[in-house]
Amino acid sequence: MLKYVGKSEKRVDGIKKVTGYVRYTDDLKLSGMLYARIKKSPYPHAKILKIDTSKAEKLSGVKVVITGKDVPIRVGLYLEDKTFLAIDKVRFIGEPVAAVAAESEEIAEEAVSLIEVDYEELSAVFSPLDGIKPDAPIIHEDLGSYKHASIILPQSGTNISNHYKIRKGDIEKGFKEADFVFENEFYVPHIQHSAIENHCAIAQADPEGKITVWAGCQSPYAVRRTLAVAFDMPLNKIRVISPAIGGGFGAKAGTTLEGIVIPLAQKANYRPVKLSFSREDVFINTFVRQGMYARIKTGVTKDGKIIAEENKFYWDGGAYTEYGVNIARAGGYASTGPYDIPNVKADSICVYTNHPVGGPYRGFGMSEIHFAIEQNLDIVAYKIGMDPAEFRKKNALKDGSSTVTGQILENVGLIQCLDKVTEDIEWDKREKKVSKIKYRGKGIACMYKAPSMPNNVGSSAIVKINEDGTVNLLVTAMDLGQGSDTVLTQIAAEVLTVPISRISIMTGDTDCTPYEWQTVASRTTYCCGNSVKRAAEDAKNQMLRLASLKFGISEEGLELKDEQIISKIYPDKKVKIADLAMGLTMPDGSGIHGPIIGRGAFIPPDVKDTDKETGQGDKPVAYWTFGVQAAEVEVDIETGEVKVLKIAAAYDAGKAINPELVCAQIEGGIVQGLGSALLEEMKIKEGKVLNPSFVDYKIPTAGDVPEIRISIIEIPEPTGPWGARGIAEPCMVPTAPAIANAVFDAIGCRINSLPITAEKVLKAIKDKMK
């Protein structure tokens, strides 16, 4: 009988957030602080001929001026293709070419305006389809010499930074045997996370040569490692503190501006240097979601079995794809969506363009590809006269199915999710024409996602038992709002039988909290949760051992219950956790063992590489999460406006450690998905972002929220803590295609690109009428 896990415990960080007490990075004011600003490139692609910083250096109040030559080392998570300041060349409008630290923001801004840069413009690339052409201008001439993870396959001499292939079965044979073959194309533009907190970083160097960085980053250890490489420093000389994060969604994964403040701090005579991005800076100088062109060719039998699929994904990776290359890979190993297809050919190609930098965005490629996959499925279903939900059910992955990489699956909850959603949205009930101008429709979309991470990365946790039996839990999994602080505390509470109020969690300090690869990939409950469970069990085992010594009873005869170790048979033989926390005092007064520190570490078991040519592998990922969403929309056929009335969602969470927090995530994911479906697009013309502000980049408000109905299925993932899987990203993935499919159901028009604006809908309606 679980006491804490599976309960909707209240957030452990709620009060400090609701009072405005929490300090995010920009709230920190350090003594002697200097303020930084960056000089940005006005060109999408140009050689830097000369940078003259002399006037800026002379301005009163300016303390440090740096350019690319001060930060020359290339870094990157999966492909080392970026520098924090441009060197020799700029590759997107807005790329930082110099930075200043000064006594005030105003002086720093003025100093930046005094920096003179001479450029020689180069031809630029604004679409991946142009980037792959043989005569395309080359954006990274040295691609062939960049260090990269073994799973990434860059093509030297081109703009292709990764080409992930799936070759499963026999695609030619599959198409030959199909009764029908359909080809469709789709497009998603760049969008942005728009977390309400803008990026900010502070760095300070101390006289011993140690650097401390404060930044609201999702992954302090990844930041530490990248900075160590960039500045050729040992890891123990860099401390990264992530104080609190005002929304992540991938925007604050990896590194963004952290590397600019360090070289400023190193020359600032031990004064801290803060770089605060404005909203416009965030739009232009931090990660955007990659754009993508998709071509899908589907071979299907007349009774609705998909037997062949060919997917081509061309990713608009932007100017640097150190992160984007893995998104392309993820798009590849998930390329057909959650369906059992015997013959698959997929090419997922990450292409450099002179656009802002593409990077991780909630879903990590899944939202982009599922927009294409799920509309494609709907088109095929419609053309062969089959109900879209039935068609999906017929082809859905289930226990025993094989994925595109040839992995045989178990514990697949997809069909249960489908059934729940079709029930909740009343799939068979359609009220098409509500009035002369308002038409309604329903659409459905499935999804799956695995945590996209290297096979061998780990999490860890430390549990300290205090003298009074309370607990300090140390992890570097970051609470971005998703509630990890609370969930991890619940896990510790469950194992240690210590109430949540007697456990304090601390995160985000690489000097004190133990290694966590990154807080991304919806991996935290699974990976760090397992680490916390192991750390708590380690502490528990130490206490059992000490109690066994104390009572002379074997460990099997003892249990941890209600904060005590107690004999299973002799209830008077009990000792409080508090009395074992500092070790065991023997009858003769001597002490043994010392303070109890529980240690836990976790790497997902048996996750292996796939074949470089065929993409085949029997366990390329730790686990898969399945989910389904359906949308009901109402279209005004005179204006084209789409209103989302209702969304039904079902996810297999394996085990919802905190059901309310799972639901809260799903609600947020749905609304974020709705934004990408109807409102959001970075309008980029010749490399220039035309709408870098909330005036013209619209995200949903309270007035846009539909009725939402959520179901949580629980088919345990055997390797997850109590069976838990991650759902943080999956909950955004199918919303846009579900809405697109609903629009088709309402008005018979396909909108093959995002966002589904009133303009596009009206044009489609008018074109159809002609």
Partner 1 sequence: MKHKISFTINGDVKEIEIEPNKTLLKMLREDLDLTGTKEGCGAGECGACTVLVDNKPVNSCLMLAVEVDGKEILTIEGISDGTNLDPIQESFLKHNAIQCGYCTPGMVMSAKALLNRNSHPTEEDVKEALSGNLCRCTGYQRIVDAVLDSAKKGGKK
Partner 2 sequence: MKEFEYLKPDTIEETISILSQHGEKAQILNGGTDLIVGMRDKIIQPEYLVDIKAIPQLNRIIYSKQDGLNIGSTVTLNEISDSKVVQTHYPILAEACKTVGSYQVRNRATLVGNICNASPAADTAPPLLVLDAKVNIIGPTGEKIIPINQFFTGVKKNILKKGEIVNSVTVPLIKDKWTGVYIKQSRRKDVDLATVGVAVVCVRDEIRIALGAVAPIPVRIFKTEELLKGKLIDELLLEKAGESAITEVSPISDVRSSKEYRVEIVKVLIRRAILQVKRRYSA
Using alpha carbons, select from 185, 203, 319, 322 the residue that is nearest to residue 263: 203
Q: Which is nearer to partner 2, 428 or 696 (CB)?
A: 696
Q: Shortest distance, CB of residue 101 to partner 2, whole angstroms?
A: 20
How does DSSP classify residue 236?
A: G
Q: Which of 303, 702, 767, 770 binds partner 2 (CB under 8 A)?
A: 702
Q: Which is nearer to partner 2, 410 or 704 (CB)?
A: 704
Joined tokens for residue 479: 């609470």
Joined tokens for residue 748: 């018979």
Is 197 in a helix, a strand, or coil?
coil
Q: Shortest distance, CB of residue 770 to partner 2, whole angstroms?
A: 14
Using alpha carbons, select from 514, 534, 533 the residue that is nearest to residue 221: 514
Which DSSP helix (H) or strand (E) runs through 186?
strand 180-188
Measured at the CA of 567, the angle between CA 461 and CA 498, to 5 degrees, comes to 35
In the chain, the largest separation of any two C-alpha atoms, in whole Å, equals 97
Q: Which is nearer to partner 2, 506 or 705 (CB)?
A: 705
Measured at the CA of 520, the angle between CA 755 and CA 28, to 5 degrees, comes to 95
Q: Shortest distance, CB of residue 636 to partner 2, whole angstroms?
A: 9
Q: Which of 467, 639, 707, 768 binds partner 2 (CB under 8 A)?
A: 639
- The angle that helices 529-551 and 484-496 make with each other, rounded to 10 degrees, is 20
Q: Which does 638 bind (CB under 5 to 8 A by kind): partner 2, partner 1, none?
A: partner 2
Q: Which does 639 bind (CB under 5 to 8 A by kind): partner 1, partner 2, none?
A: partner 2
Among 537, 714, 729, 759, which one carries the catalytic annotation?
729
Tell me the residue type at 122.
L
Joined tokens for residue 413: 């909850």
Q: Shortest distance, CB of residue 37 to partner 1, whole angstroms?
A: 14
CB 366 within 8 A of CB 729: yes
- Any catalytic annotation for residue 729? yes
Using alpha carbons, select from 653, 657, 631, 650 the residue that is nearest to residue 642: 631
Q: Which of 569, 695, 767, 770 binds partner 2 (CB under 8 A)?
A: 695
Check residue 638 for interaction with partner 2 (CB under 8 A). Answer: yes
Q: Shortest distance, CB of residue 703 to partner 2, whole angstroms?
A: 4
Footprint of partner 2 on 650-679 (CB under 8 A) = 679
DSSP β-ladder status, 707-713 and 642-652: parallel
Check residue 606 for interaction with partner 2 (CB under 8 A). Answer: no
Q: Which does 193 bind (CB under 5 to 8 A by kind): partner 2, partner 1, none?
A: partner 1
Joined tokens for residue 184: 């469709």
CB 337 within 8 A of CB 373: yes
Dihedral, 355, 359, 365, 371 alpha carbons, nearest 10: -40
Q: Which does 667 bind (CB under 5 to 8 A by kind): partner 1, partner 2, none?
A: partner 1
- Contacting residues for 8 by C-beta, under 8 A, at least 6 apart: 658, 659, 660, 661
Q: Which is nearer to partner 1, 23 or 608 (CB)?
A: 23
Check residue 707 for interaction with partner 2 (CB under 8 A). Answer: no
How does DSSP classify residue 182?
A: E
Binding residues for partner 1, rule: CB under 8 A, are: 8, 10-11, 13-24, 26-27, 29, 193-198, 244-249, 278-279, 480-483, 660-661, 664, 667-672, 693-695, 699-703, 705, 708
Q: Which is nearer to partner 1, 357 or 710 (CB)?
A: 710
Q: Which does 269 bind (CB under 5 to 8 A by kind): partner 2, partner 1, none?
A: none
Q: Shortest distance, CB of residue 477 to partner 1, whole angstroms?
A: 15
Alpha-carbon distance of 567 to 586, in angstroms, equals 19
Buried b (16+ CB within 10 A) or exposed e, 552-573: ebeeeebebeebbbbbeeeeeb
- Contacting residues for 644 by C-beta, under 8 A, at least 6 apart: 631, 632, 633, 674, 677, 678, 704, 706, 739, 742
Dihedral, 477, 479, 482, 485 alpha carbons, nearest 10: 80
Q: Which of 701, 707, 718, 768 binds partner 2 (CB under 8 A)?
A: 701
Q: Which of 76, 299, 620, 700 binds partner 2 (CB under 8 A)?
A: 700
Q: Shortest distance, CB of residue 759 to partner 2, whole angstroms?
A: 4
Joined tokens for residue 162: 């990764």
Q: Which does 709 bind (CB under 5 to 8 A by kind): partner 2, partner 1, none?
A: none
Q: Is 669 left (phi over 0), alpha (psi -120 to 50) or beta?
A: alpha
Region binding partner 2 by CB under 8 A among candidate stretches 7-15, 47-55, 687-695, 713-721: 687-695
Q: Shortest distance, CB of residue 35 to partner 2, whole angstroms?
A: 15
Q: Shortest distance, CB of residue 240 to partner 2, whole angstroms?
A: 31
Q: Which is nearer to partner 2, 128 or 675 (CB)?
A: 675
Q: Which does 244 bind (CB under 5 to 8 A by kind): partner 1, partner 2, none?
A: partner 1
Q: Which does 690 bind (CB under 5 to 8 A by kind): partner 1, partner 2, none?
A: partner 2
Q: Which does 197 bind (CB under 5 to 8 A by kind): partner 1, partner 2, none?
A: partner 1
Check residue 698 for interaction with partner 2 (CB under 8 A). Answer: yes
What residues are labeled active site?
729
Contact set with partner 2 (CB under 8 A): 638-640, 679, 683, 690-691, 695-696, 698, 700-704, 757-759, 762-763, 766
